[in-house]
């Protein structure tokens, strides 16, 4: 049974239709990469999966939660779905440990003792336990992004969404964040990532979805899709370096 399913999703901003009937399904434990040019709708689609954007038509179900306009159901969904953005969005006045502890404390009403154990566990997962008492300004961009990942993991999500999380980082810092994501994939975490890291997508994603002009233009097993693109649009996208 699919853990993520989108059926005929449409999304418009005013008169501009950004998503034009997007459909796909993701099985538990799969890593799925969404690629495409700027403006193809890939980040909008990812935000729709977490209810950050409301859709105009179609259906989305994630981790057993059907997205609709009901606020309680939306909050229930966000307890099971973590999202990491390009910008780290850490609170500068809170330490690393306090940033991570905030959501379990407020959203899940966890006891302090249990939260401390979770904070240590997720910081160990991303290789930053020694930075627990540091503040965001004391960390590199790559370290801040790894803390943002740890913050999402602290909610023990069933699905993780990543929206171009390395696009603001230099190559060395990008590599350290991608290593964390590789470990998550190896642990069986269901992951959906919008990325311009084509080699990472080819190597780590079970499936890659190529979006073009608001539609799923091509999709399939990543190694096959990258080795044998079936459409001129994907061929051109990959040959151009696939960074736009």
- Residue-wise pLDDT tens digits, 196-205: 999 999 999 9
Which CATH number does the domain 4-239 belong to among 1.10.390.10, 3.40.50.300, 2.40.160.40, 3.90.100.10? 3.40.50.300
Q: What is the pLDDT of residue 48?
A: 95
- Residue-wise pLDDT tens digits, 114-167: 999 999 999 999 999 999 999 999 999 999 999 999 999 999 999 999 999 998
**Alpha helices (H) along the chain:** 42-49, 71-80, 96-106, 112-125, 141-153, 171-186, 198-204, 222-227, 232-239
**Residue that has been written with the tokens 């964390």 in this structure:** 180
User: Quick one: pLDDT band at residue 171, thresholds 50, 70, 90?
Assistant: confident
∠ CA 192-208-17, nearest 5°, is 75
Tokens encoding 177: 């964040």
What is the reported pTM? Answer: 0.93
Calpha distance 89→160 (Å, rounded): 16
Domain residue limits, the chain: 4-239
């Amino acid at each position: 049974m699919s853990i993520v399913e989108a059926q005929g999703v449409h999304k418009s901003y005013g008169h501009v239709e950004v998503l034009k009937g997007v459909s796909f399904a993701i099985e538990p434990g799969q890593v799925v990469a969404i690629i495409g040019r700027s403006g193809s709708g890939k980040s909008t689609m990812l935000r729709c999966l977490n209810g950050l954007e409301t859709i105009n038509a179609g259906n989305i179900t994630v981790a057993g939660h059907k997205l609709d306009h009901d606020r309680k159901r939306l909050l229930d969904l966000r307890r099971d779905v973590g999202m990491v953005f390009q910008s780290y969005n850490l609170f500068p006045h809170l330490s690393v440990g306090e940033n991570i502890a905030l959501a379990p404390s407020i959203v899940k009403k966890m006891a302090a003792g249990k939260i401390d154990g979770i904070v240590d566990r997720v910081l160990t997962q991303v290789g930053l336990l020694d930075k627990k008492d540091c503040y965001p300004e004391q960390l590199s961009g790559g370290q801040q992004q790894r803390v943002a990942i740890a913050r999402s993991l602290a909610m023990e999500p069933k699905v993780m969404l990543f929206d171009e999380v390395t696009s603001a980082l230099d190559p060395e810092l990008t590599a350290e964040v991608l290593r964390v994501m590789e470990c998550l994939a190896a642990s069986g975490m269901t992951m959906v990532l919008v990325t311009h890291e084509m080699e990472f997508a080819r190597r780590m994603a079970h499936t890659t979805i190529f979006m073009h002009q608001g539609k799923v233009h091509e999709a399939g097993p990543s190694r096959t899709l990258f080795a044998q693109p079936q459409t001129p649009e994907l061929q051109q996208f990959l040959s151009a370096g696939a960074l736009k």
